[in-house]
Amino acid sequence: MPLTPDQQRRKLPSKSRGDDKRHEENERFEKLLDKLEDMTTKGHLKDMAYHFTNKKEVIKVNLLAGVARGVGLTLGTAIFLGIFFLILYNTVSLPVIGDYIAQLLDMIETYRQE
């Protein structure tokens, strides 16, 4: 919004830089704002803003994300433990580890029988 002639007359002169330099900086700032607007539009940030302002959409997205995390964590843990026990099973024949695991299995068997 441009200044009125009366406002132009009462405007204080710039102390640190001339009006030309300020005008150039304002143009540069406007170009940066236009670039930022293009980036947000291309990045679908408007869609994201819609999803997080609609409460039902937020609940739906978070519920789905929570279920996916839970399933992923469960599957990842199962795979990791399966590989761990497979390696452990193959190392039972080692003398030090094998004796320790054999004692552990004996303790488990005694508690099962009681």
Q: Tell me the pLDDT tens digit for each residue of 16-52.
A: 556 677 778 888 888 888 888 877 777 676 667 776 7
pTM of the complete model beyond 0.95? no
Pairwise CA distance, residues 96 & 58, whole Å: 54
Question: What residues contact 61, with CB distance under 8 A and at least 6 apart?
Answer: 51
Pairwise CA distance, residues 50 & 86, whole Å: 48
pLDDT of amino acid 58: 80
pLDDT of amino acid 67: 96
Quick one: tokens of 49?
């803003």
Quick one: tokens of 87?
């390696």
pLDDT of amino acid 104: 86
